[in-house]
Structure 1
């Protein structure tokens, strides 16, 4: 059988799903790692992005932090962190993926606050709101669509990249791919392909679910504005 047929056979074997270390176990590990990494990224990036956006300063810092974190290879972090006190397992994987999640979370948090209508800020200040109250009651609610967009981007990237956790025995669906390579291409080619398909399908599912959530939290006027902006951007790209 060719690798595609082997993958179909592998995926249709119930034991590959229910046995210890099977798809269901690895899926749970994958989702746990990804959720923890995105949550850690939110705890770091959102407060910084929201505060810098509120003060109107630090735009260059946001760009710098985003570029620096993007420039750090995830594989390099996964290689170096287990050599520290963190050791092997899920903890270094979560930290490495959290670093990978920070750029979209930080950039969208900053942009979301800066996109708030200045007249809304002036009206809030005229009502006597302090800086903290302005951020909590006005800027943060209006920035929610941007936060959702950044969360969606970060989550999809982390889910897709979490397959690398197998390099440091961190679990996840990548273990299926790694085990397939251990068997050799001739024997484990179908398992490798099946593991890759599972990771891709999970990333697509997360993308669809979070796209729906993002649309639900985006007010209709902002949806229309974004649609027009996307159309203008597409027209500009076609014209070049």
Structure 2
């Protein structure tokens, strides 16, 4: 009886040791050391760099600035600028003829600036090449140094620029009153060392209305080229 009990205990201990050794082997083979996740933020806010005129971080900029980024523009399918400005408090459209005027804190102004430089636009252009729309509120807009600024604020358009990557984006939209819109955004590297970058954005928009003055047709194309030269 003692021999049989000893044999059972020996077999049980042997099976348990073999299972433990097998489990430890599995754990060693599937040991996880580290996980690296990389991503790119395509909607980085660059408003502080343009509005303060010096390289400040957003938290260090004391100016009151509201921004409409590219993701919001794409999700809302904006194709006119005054619709984009509806997301900024204190700004309202104030039309006068065919040239769009806006009221910023009670002062009338236009969307006069492009990338921080005066670029007068007499009509409401297609915003397909706008990466970000900034509204600098208050008298700090006079830092742009032009007779086109007002004490209410400044509207600045930040346009898209060539990126160090290859990508293509195409969007189609449709609606009532025969609304049709197609946009494309193509970015490519011209060489393997990324010394030459090219980007082309464009849009076609057709919109009708029950009124005679509601017909809208527009074709927009904006190519941009970036050449990098090494500084010795």
TM-score grouping bracket, smaller chain normalisation: under 0.3
TM-score (structure 2 length as normaliser)? 0.24
Between Structure 1 and Structure 2, which shows a larger proportion of strand residues?
2
TM-score (structure 1 length as normaliser)? 0.23
- Bigger Rg over Cα: 2
- Considering Cα pairs closer than 8 Å and 6+ residues apart, tell me whether 1 or 2 has the greater RCO: 1
Between Structure 1 and Structure 2, which shows a larger proportion of helix residues?
1
